[in-house]
Structure 1
Amino acid sequence: MAARFTDRVPDELARRLRYLPEATPEEQQLFLADAKRFVAGLDRKVLRTAGPITRTKWQLAADGRLSELLAVLAHDREHPATIKVQGLRTARLSLPGLDSSVLPDDIATLNRKDIPVRSRITELDWADGKLRVRGYAYVANVPFEKGGLRMAALRRRGSKRVVPLRIRSFVEPAATAESKQSMHNFDGSGFELSVNPRQLRRRGGWQSSKWDLGMIIAGPGNLYAGRLAKGNLGSAVDGLVRRLDDGVRLVATFPKNRLQLTVDVVPAEVTGHSVDNGILTLVVRARPDSEPKTLRIEQPVKDAPPAFSMEFPLERRSGGQGWIQYEARVPLDKLPTAQDALGATADLHTMIRFADGKERRATVAETMTARAYPHGTDEEIAVDTDAVGVFRLRAQARRPVVDRVEWNAAGELTVEGSYSGPGDRMRLLLRHTGRHEDRALDMSFADGRFTACFTPDAVSTYEGEVPLRAGRWHFNFRAVEEWDHVRDIPVTLRQDLVETLPKRWQGGRRTYTVGRSSFDRFFLESGSVLGPDETGGYRQRKLREKFHTQQRELPIKEAVLYASFGGKQFSDSPRAVYEELVRRGVEVEHIWTVSDEQAVVPEGVTTVEWASKEWYEALATSRYLVFNHGIRDWFQRREGQVVVQTWHGTPLKKIGADLLGTPKANLAYIASLNDRFSQYSFLVSPNAFTTPIMKNAFRATCEILESGYPRNDMFHSADKEERAALVRARLGIPEGKKIVLYAPTWRDDQRYGGRRFKLDNQVDLGAAQRVLGDDHVFLYRKHPKVLDSIPGAGQGFVHDVTSYPDIAELYLIADVLITDYSSVFFDFAHSGKPMLFFTYDLEHYRDELRGLYFDLGERAPGPLIKTSDELIAAIRDIDEVSRTYQERYEQFARDFCEPSDGHAAERVVDRMLELSAGHVLPAPSAEAQPVR
């Protein structure tokens, strides 16, 4: 394999380039010298393997052109991997602040690999006897806003034969939204074309052949060709098959994710099956000029010999001049069983071997029907097909099969089907494919049939009803005794009904779609609540630069815009500030930011969806903004606005600029902190320990109000006992049960990618239930960044309370808190109740992942525990633990819980109103001091 440029760049040199704008002039010159030596030692062909922006950066660095390099770096931060393309005869790179004409041709000239055809098929179906293909296609980085010249054609493999196809263009906003860039508009790239199968005949007859469907698009200096790529196809996500004639199929598949059509003149195919006395009889028909000899059934293993392989003779039964019928008799007890009684499947491939030595995967005749035969107590042998008509034989747990999927006029979805297994010990769950979380559905079961009815636009939560979270949810059965998803049984659709999907229903603000994947595996997809003019990086940039700017010209209105954790909750200090304003009767409109409509707010509060037009309007026109998280660096506070940053924790692990000198330091973010925090009217600090950290770590030049966190006022509220009783009732916790709350943080090295982290559960919850289950319940609160479901949740002992809107209310009911390096223990210390620290990876976390501001072992108000067994023992002996750590706990409260008098929200609101008096606000001071 040829060397790639990205594999040759030293990590430290790449990091220095990434943060070159933040380097000192001396550091920048040293980098240029090092970069020049590095590039000089490279083969130019290796540098050419890099993308256009990457190779341009390194060429500019090697040439010592610092100002232009900094301009390119600034552009790449705003528009990653996105360029402009210019040129009539030759396509060349164009970037703001760069004179590309002086770049070497091998750097600035763009080839087809630099600007490939991007395509996505969005629909693939049959209409009027033709294959209909809809989607979008454009040349990367070349705008396609209002259409352009395109040609489509089918090319036969191994031949020069080409079949041109007519294209109809239309506007497809999804092309721009899904492009994952914010510079170019591709709305005009939508297309529709049809393939008439008769065009694929040769000399009036059918011949087996393969055809590639491609598109040619006119672009700068050239014509650009590309094959059409698979997308989110709904009813055809895995391909299609259609009968063109007796024994002739047209198959649409996606090898290497690109559409391919195959005319398959079938030599032999499976027409039927039956089971009698433990013998599976498979009926095969063959053409007279084909002589099938055996069926080989095998269980394939990737990169290894088959786990099972056995051949069965095909015996001729009937036939004359036409098709000839054969049979193979397969004893079921010879076949592999499912690896596990619940959930696992043994997928078996069936090959037909012919007399001439050739063989092929068995396919099915149009007349073959799917069926599952009982096999043992909990298993079955399924005989069916897939989306492209391949014969399937599977040993598996008995599967539920849906034969009715209906929406009613009110948006209620009914899912009904048959199940031959133990339905009385099964739960029906929706499982989110992206977040790996579960949602249980009410299900009735009788006489081998199950029924579930629910309304996705009104799903019950702890505080009300919300729409089903956006994304794809698969249906699964799970045995009631199972603690996790490992042995889930997928719910499938009866195969003769697959073409009835998709079925859609328009909810209040989003579309719900029942679709399918893997042919008969069906799902429910909850669409985005944002509209087409709000979705994707390009539309969001337009909203910021144009719409938001226009709204800033409107008068400021007496309103408060709140946001808690990006709109995910009605909670935390913003909620406490809201409640204080309501208590005082301040005449303002209350506007709460919600994300994906998942937060439930009190009556009288207006909601705006995060990043919607309404949100941008409220951000520009509200008198007060109260957030507990950062605002993006494009935000500019208006004169007359009061922007309150309540933040959300006392820092234990190092943050912001205090990470300088470590690999975790984001120098670009740190360099932006001064500007970001200058947009706040004031920043709320919970205690004297945090104030100087905020000032340094955030480079905060705004006023710091050391008021305590408003969210902790509830520890002093007069109604906290009544509030706690209400919370216990919402969670369904029995009287007399002690409550353990476990709230760990995330692990930087345990992630799915980006800011999506894995659950790193080290608590033996089964052992905990055996020891503590009689008189305790275990509340498990994941960090919002952590995905995955909680083992054992819903079984009575473990409760997943991640979606409970406000953790502060969980503090009220908890008898003991377990945490690690999360800042929750600073808040919980206001309660005076015991804490345990499950720090099984302390050294790794402290020394390799995150530095800590103080020695946790010396100051923690509870023991640091390494193993799950020790943790369970400490919970059982919590009274002794409390006595042992009483003095340290009291000192910890003095150090980190002052002020703590129940009046933090009052102090914050006092300062808000004071600053807004007269609607004239002081300019931020570079030397602003904490206000106590």
Structure 2
Amino acid sequence: MTDLKNKVKQFINFFFYLISCLVIKKKNRIVFGAWLGDRFGDNPRFLFEWLAEKHPNEFELIWIGKPHIYDQIKKIDNIKFYEKNSLQGLFKSMTAKYAFFSHSHHDISNLNVFGNCITVQLWHGVPLKRIGDDSIGYESPNDFFSNFNRNKMTNYCFYISSSQENSNKLLTAFRQFSITADKILSIGQPRNDFLINQKDFTFTYKKKLYDLFPEIKDKNIITYMPTFRDKTANNFSFKLLTGKEKEKLTELLTKHNAIILEKNHYAETGSSRATLAPSPYIKSLTDVPFDSQELLLASDMLITDYSSCYFDFLLLDRPIIHYAYDYQSYGSIDRGFYYDLEDVSGGSIVKTEDGLLESIDKNLTEPNLHKSNRKSTIAFLLNNEKGISNEEIYQRILRGK
């Protein structure tokens, strides 16, 4: 029965795609979405906001998502919002000339209604973890609808990348979607334009955090942002430390006048979402609509495991620690990695709680400890991040130059 239901869904999707191929497109209409409609964020957000500011009257800018994100965007001038899968949202999507995604058409609509639309896969960061066709154990379905979906319906017109090395990985990760080198624009990411161009205004974003947590004012901000796990579920959280480790952490943070902000992946479950006991040293942003890029700007240090957010953070030239407590199992059971973490870490790598606390102390004391490593990783994976991605997208895609 499940297989039959899937076939029916595929047929409906196929039908609507064919219909959308026949629909006349409005030449200045652009639709955006991100993270399956759940978030107003990532690369689509920063391109969306840039266009609203720089070219407010040139395009009809439409964000499509779930109702709960409307409050985050309603104050932006010259934009429209429609609910994902609503009739209006489907009509606007079907008649748009351009569509920008962070993941897939599911960011905007459960139905692929983007036939003859210029579709742009902005993705959501430079991958350390394997993605798409490169993921460990990934096997694509081999039937008519699935093959047509990959080769026609999800045949993106453009991709963006941060470097030639990043482009090489996109060519293998999206190989079933008819990707070719000429479809990739190695121009950096809109979300990194924001980091590069706002780097000198860090206090603005610290102040936004002070408004949420007045008690953290003038403290060193250590942000912990772990990755999402598909299969492994052994999630670390500072708030679960007990006994001597908790005492050591408290002493360490007191010594450096620091606090820890935890922001877990929005889809994460399990121990990482355990109830946060009141603490003057550890605060949770997991369920607070605080943009990740703004949080990176406000942070003095980043702790992660394997999240690609650390590649973005490299552009700020601040300390990074990888708490790689399950490096072997994650690499062999979950997604797998493109690179040895030692080669592209841009910072410290630790595998025990004691090592983590020692590394926090050392990096706060010597913030330039891994400066050369940060530079070499940027040169390898982020060398086309120049802070002009939005302008390049505007010129090359929206103006066809």
- Separation in 2 of the partners of 1:545 and 1:675? 13
Aligned-partner Cα distance in 1 for 2:91–2:290? 26
Q: In the alignment, what sits opposite 1:799?
A: 283
8 A Cα contact 1:739 1:816, kept in partner: yes
Contact map agreement 2:16 2:112 (CA 8 A) in 1: no
Match of 2:166 in 1: 690
C-alpha deviation, 1:728, in angstroms: 2.5
SS at match of 2:268: coil
* Partners of 2:326 and 2:68 in 1: CA distance: 36
Contact 1:580 1:909 in 2 (8 A): no
1:487 aligns to what?
none
Distance in structure 2 (CA, Å) of the matches to 1:836 and 1:807? 17
Does the Cα contact within 8 Å between 1:563 and 1:627 map onto a contact in 2?
yes
Alignment of 1:548-563 (within 5 A): 549=19, 553=23, 555-556=25-26, 558-563=28-33
Shift of 1:805: 4.0
Q: Distance in 2 between matches of 1:847 and 1:744?
A: 18
Q: 1:580 to 1:884 in 2, by over 3 A?
A: closer
User: Among 612, 632, 640, which residue is 2:86 paired with?
Assistant: 612
Distance 1:732 1:717 in 2: 26
Residue 907 of structure 1 deviates from its aligned partner by 0.7
**Which residue number corresponds to residue 261 of structure 2?**
779
2:374 is matched with 889
Letter aligned with residue 868 of structure 1: E
SS in 1 for 2:32: strand
What is the aligned-residue identity percentage?
Answer: 25
Counterpart check, 1:904 vs 2:389:
yes
| Residue-by-residue CA offset, 1:43-78 (whole Å, 9 max, x unaligned) | xxxxxxxxxx69xxxxxxxxxxxxxxxxxx7x5642
Secondary structure (helix, strand or coil) at the match of 2:261 reads strand
Decide which of 73, 77, 99 is 1:625's aligned counterpart. 99
Of residues 337, 346, 353 in structure 2, which corresponds to 1:852? 337
Distance 1:582 1:546, change over 3 A: closer
Q: TM-score, normalised by structure 1?
A: 0.37
Q: Does 1:667 align with 2:146?
A: no
**1:814 match:** 299
Contact 2:43–2:122 under 8 Å retained in 1: yes
Equivalent-residue separation in structure 1 for 2:39 and 2:193 (angstroms): 18
Supply the distance in 2 between the matched residues of 1:735 and 1:597 (Cα, whole angstroms).
Answer: 29
Q: For each residue in 1:809-863, what CA deviation from the matched residue of structure 2 results, as whole angstroms up to 9, or x when unmatched?
A: 0110111111111111111111110100000011111123232111112331122
Q: TM-score, normalised by structure 2?
A: 0.82
Aligned CA distance change for structure 1 residues 677 and 869 (closer, same or farther; 3 Å) = same
Residue in structure 1 matching 2:7, options 62, 78, 90: 78
Note the C-alpha offset of 1:675. 3.3
Q: Tell me, yes or no, if the aligned pair for 2:319 and 2:368 is still in contact at 8 Å.
A: no
Partners of 1:741 and 1:780 within 8 A in 2: yes
Compare the two structures and name the one with the higher strand fraction: 1
Q: Which amino acid aligns with 1:778?
A: I
Output the amino acid matched with 2:7.
E
One-letter amino acid of the counterpart of residue 795, structure 1 = S
Q: Cα–Cα, structure 1 residues 618 and 861, in superposed 2: closer, same or farther, change >3 Å?
A: same
Distance 1:726 1:735, change over 3 A: closer
Alpha-carbon shift at residue 770 of structure 1 (Å): 1.9
What amino acid maps onto 1:644 in structure 2?
Answer: V
Distance of 1:879 and 1:712 partners within structure 2: 24
2:53 to 540, 559, 583: 583
The 3-state SS of whatever aligns with 2:30 is strand
Superposition CA RMSD, Å? 3.1
Q: 1:773 touches 1:797 (CA, 8 Å); kept in 2?
A: yes
Amino acid corresponding to residue 213 of structure 2 in structure 1: G
> Using a 3 Å threshold, how does the CA distance of structure 1 residues 860 and 578 change in structure 2: closer, same or farther?
same
Aligned CA distance change for structure 1 residues 673 and 720 (closer, same or farther; 3 Å)? farther
The whole-number CA distance in structure 1 between the counterparts of 2:86 and 2:251 is 49
Structure 2 gap ranges (5+) = none
Question: Which residue number corresponds to residue 76 of structure 2?
Answer: 603
> How far apart in 2 are the matches of 1:550 and 1:830?
40
Read off the aligned partner of 2:122 and give its amino acid letter.
T
Q: Does the CA-based 8 Å contact 1:727-1:810 persist in structure 2?
A: no
1:703 to 183, 193, 208: 183
Asked if the contact 1:548–1:617 (Cα under 8 Å) also holds between the matched residues in 2, the reply is no
Structure 1 unmatched ranges of 5 or more: 1-52, 55-72, 80-181, 184-540, 751-757, 918-932
Quote the offset at 1:765 in angstroms. 4.1
> Comparing both chains, which one has the higher relative contact order based on Cα–Cα distances under 8 Å and sequence gaps of 6 or more?
2
**Separation in 2 of the partners of 1:732 and 1:877?**
26
Kindly tell me: are residues 892 and 792 of structure 1, through their superposed partners in 2, closer, same or farther at Cα, counting changes over 3 Å? Answer: same
Partner of 2:235: 760
1:665 offset after TM fit, Å? 0.9
CA offsets 1:27-53 (integer angstroms, 9 cap, x no match): xxxxxxxxxxxxxxxxxxxxxxxxxx6
Q: Which amino acid aligns with 1:834?
A: P
Alignment partner of 2:283: what SS? strand
Larger Rg: 1
CA contact (8 A) 1:862 1:881 kept: no
Aligned residues: 374
**1:790–1:800 contact (8 Å) kept in structure 2:** no
Mapped partners of 1:688, 1:550: distance in 2: 34
CA–CA separation in structure 1 for the residues paired with 2:278 and 2:384: 39
Q: CA deviation at 1:555?
A: 4.9
- 2:105 alignment partner, SS class: coil
Pairs within 5 Å for 1:453-852: 545=15, 549=19, 553=23, 555-556=25-26, 558-585=28-55, 586-599=57-70, 600-601=72-73, 602-604=75-77, 605-631=79-105, 635=112, 637-639=114-116, 641-659=117-135, 662=136, 664-668=137-141, 673-678=150-155, 680-699=156-175, 700-701=179-180, 703-717=183-197, 720-721=201-202, 723-733=204-214, 734-750=216-232, 760-763=235-238, 764-765=240-241, 767=246, 769-774=249-254, 775-788=257-270, 789-792=273-276, 795-802=279-286, 803-852=288-337
